[in-house]
């Protein structure tokens, strides 16, 4: 009970300072560009830390350590897939997206795709923004649900009240400061996260060496003693099944290749080429350290508690921290894990709001000949309304349905738009109508594949990428570019 009280006090202080920091940054927002993309003036280190906090969220502090605790060495493939995707994104894509954002004076993710395929710009904006906004409604709702579940687990707060608290934390500064406030609060999250992922494993290993009463005295011994599946890189599988385990884990790679709008927006917001190089270095180093640390925390938890010592594997990180650190220090690090969810929720909310406002609402108002007197106010109102809708969805729609739709995001949005971004950047022949065909095919395939439960056999994260690629290439050759006449046979 004493630990719970200390954790609550630390969390309240941390969240309070975070809100004040977000509102302070929001004071610097003067126009739509500031609100939507921080005026494309982000320092490299800020963009990198924000992208990493948004990309990893509670995954690096709760999800991956939990999987390592439950699966042993098998989870290395997932880590390798994620790290490889992140490194490729920072090394090969980030600077290209930044240069394009500057060249075309862009404020949203889909504007980049439309600008490179100007012959079908409006159709691309409509299809892309509608898909992103629809799925990200549920994604934001899932973060509210996750916040409610976490507060219930940690403090026995009613989950519905927990959702309201989660929304009350992120919505005010997100509405006020938009992308700028979101990015700079992400920086704080990233620093707390990486601190936990560095000192946690170091202190954990020292703790194991000084406490022989634990399940094992080290990581290697813990994995060996937990059983053959834990020390197998394929979880004890063989033949085709082993291949599925490897490919399934590594398939996270494909979602990082420009296809996650909330991450690509950080690339686009970097101020100049020099800062892009700094961002690349910070992003890659942070990732390497974080993933090693996350795996080690999971395996240290295995050494402390044994394979059956925890009822909820995703809480291995909080349990490890409470075991190896004094309560106050543990509370700070656990608060970072809880707050990491916020890094995703606010990013998804502002992304959805800017996509909706710029690419769906503005064209409609223009068509209706309704002048926009205060664009910045309009953006803030749209953000507030979308937050309310996401909260209602989280409240009224079954949690299983919401999390199912969220599973479409990484596979459907990530795999599909990764192909669109990669080909848009690298293949001149790829045209606007082929883009639309790629988006429709990728999302449709993902929905069908997951709905029919085939995803349990072969991950949609992998197949959607290649289905979208095949459709993109075929559509480029078979569908004439707008304005071109079909070639006679």
Q: What is the CA radius of gyration of the chain?
A: 23
Cβ count within 10 A of residue 122 = 12
479 secondary structure, DSSP code: S
Kindly give, in sequence order, each residue whose CB lies less than 8 Å from that of residue 46, ignoring residues fewer than 6 positions away: 183, 184, 187
Of residues 90, 220, 129, the one with CA closest to residue 439:
129
Enter the pTM of the model: 0.92
Would you list the DSSP string of 325-351? S-HHHHHHHHHHHHHHHHHHHHHHHHH
Residues spanned by the domain of 384? 2-398
Q: For helices 327-356 and 261-268, give the axis angle rounded to 10 degrees.
A: 90
Reduce the DSSP state of residue 212 to 3 states and report it: coil
Q: Can you read off the two tokens belonging to residue 403?
A: 């999390």
The model's pLDDT over 117-176, given as tens digits with 9 standing for 90+, comes to 999 999 999 999 999 988 888 888 888 887 787 777 677 788 888 888 888 888 899 999
Would you list the DSSP string of 91-143? IIIHHHHHHHHHHHT--SHHHHHHHHTGGGHHHHHHHHHHHHHHHHHHHHHHH
Of residues 37, 35, 464, 38, the one with CA closest to residue 259:
464
Asked, for residue 483, whether it belongs to a domain, the answer is no
Residue whose entry in the numeric block shows the structure tokens 């640390």: 293
Asked, for residue 489, whether it belongs to a domain, the answer is no
Could you give the CA distance from residue 164 to residue 170 in angstroms, rounded to a whole number?
Answer: 10
Q: Among 210-214, 233-237, 417-421, whose mean pLDDT is lowest?
A: 233-237
pLDDT band at 488 (very low <50, low <70, confident <90, very high): very low
Asked, for residue 428, whether it belongs to a domain, the answer is no
Asked, for residue 432, whether it belongs to a domain, the answer is no
pLDDT band at 1 (very low <50, low <70, confident <90, very high): low
Residue 42 main-chain phi, psi, to 5 deg: -75, 135
261 phi-psi bin (left φ>0, alpha ψ -120 to 50, beta other): alpha
Kindly give, in sequence order, each residue whose CB lies less than 8 Å from that of residue 423, ignoring residues fewer than 6 positions away: 430, 438, 472
Of residues 60, 147, 65, the one with CA closest to residue 338:
147
Could you give the CA distance from residue 206 to residue 195 in angstroms, rounded to a whole number?
Answer: 17
Q: Can you read off the two tokens belonging to residue 468?
A: 């979208």
Whichever domain contains 295, its CATH number is 1.20.1730.10
Burial (Cβ within 10 Å: 0-12, 13-18, ≥19) of residue 80: middle
The model's pLDDT over 219-269, given as tens digits with 9 standing for 90+, comes to 999 999 999 999 999 888 888 888 888 988 888 899 899 999 999 999 999
* Better pLDDT: 343 or 424: 424
State the average pLDDT for the chain.
Answer: 89
Count how many domains the chain has.
1
Asked, for residue 481, whether it belongs to a domain, the answer is no
Question: Under a CB-based contact definition with an 8 Å cutoff, are residues 88 and 283 in contact?
Answer: no
Could you give the CA distance from residue 205 to residue 219 in angstroms, rounded to a whole number?
Answer: 8
């Amino acid at each position: 009970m004493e630990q719970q009280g200390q954790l609550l006090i630390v969390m309240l202080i941390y969240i309070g300072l975070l809100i004040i920091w977000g509102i302070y940054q929001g004071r610097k927002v003067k126009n739509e560009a500031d609100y939507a993309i921080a005026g494309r003036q982000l320092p490299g280190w800020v963009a990198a830390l924000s992208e990493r906090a948004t990309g990893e969220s509670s995954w690096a502090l709760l999800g991956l350590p939990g999987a390592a605790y439950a699966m042993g060495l098998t989870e290395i493939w997932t880590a390798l897939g994620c790290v490889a995707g992140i490194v490729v994104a920072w090394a090969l894509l980030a600077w290209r997206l930044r240069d394009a954002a500057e060249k075309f004076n862009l404020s949203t993710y889909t504007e980049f795709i439309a600008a490179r395929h100007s012959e079908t710009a409006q159709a691309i904006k409509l299809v892309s923004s509608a898909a992103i906004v629809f799925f990200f409604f549920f994604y934001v709702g899932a973060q509210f649900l996750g916040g409610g579940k976490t507060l219930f687990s940690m403090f026995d707060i009613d989950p519905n009240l927990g959702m309201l608290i989660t929304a009350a934390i992120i919505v005010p500064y997100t509405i006020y400061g938009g992308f700028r406030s979101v990015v700079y609060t992400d920086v704080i999250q990233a620093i707390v996260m990486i601190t936990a992922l560095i000192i946690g494993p170091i202190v954990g290993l020292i703790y194991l060496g000084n406490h022989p009463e634990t399940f094992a005295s080290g990581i290697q011994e813990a994995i060996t003693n937990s059983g053959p599946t834990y020390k197998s890189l394929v979880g004890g599988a063989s033949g085709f099944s082993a291949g599925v385990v490897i490919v399934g884990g590594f398939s996270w790679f494909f979602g990082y290749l420009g296809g996650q709008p909330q991450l690509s927006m950080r690339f686009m917001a970097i101020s100049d080429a020099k800062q892009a190089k700094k961002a690349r270095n910070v992003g890659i180093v942070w990732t390497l350290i974080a993933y090693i640390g996350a795996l080690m925390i999971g395996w240290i938890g295995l050494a402390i508690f044994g394979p059956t010592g925890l009822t909820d594997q995703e809480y291995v990180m909080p349990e490890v921290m409470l075991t190896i650190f004094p309560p106050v220090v543990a509370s700070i690090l656990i608060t970072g894990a809880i707050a990491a969810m916020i890094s995703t929720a606010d990013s998804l909310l502002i992304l959805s709001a800017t996509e909706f406002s710029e690419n769906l609402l503005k064209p409609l108002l223009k068509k209706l000949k309704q002048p926009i007197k205060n664009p910045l106010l309009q953006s803030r109102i749209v953000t507030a309304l979308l937050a309310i809708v996401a909260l209602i969805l989280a409240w009224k729609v079954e949690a299983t349905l919401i999390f199912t739709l969220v599973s479409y995001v990484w596979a459907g949005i990530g795999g599909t738009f990764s192909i669109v971004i990669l080909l848009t950047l690298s293949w001149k022949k790829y045209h606007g109508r082929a883009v639309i065909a790629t988006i429709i095919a990728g999302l449709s395939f993902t929905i069908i594949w997951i709905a029919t439960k085939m995803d349990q056999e072969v991950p949609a994260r992998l197949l959607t990428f290649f289905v979208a690629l095949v459709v993109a290439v075929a559509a480029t050759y078979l569908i004439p570019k707008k304005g071109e006449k079909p070639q006679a046979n």
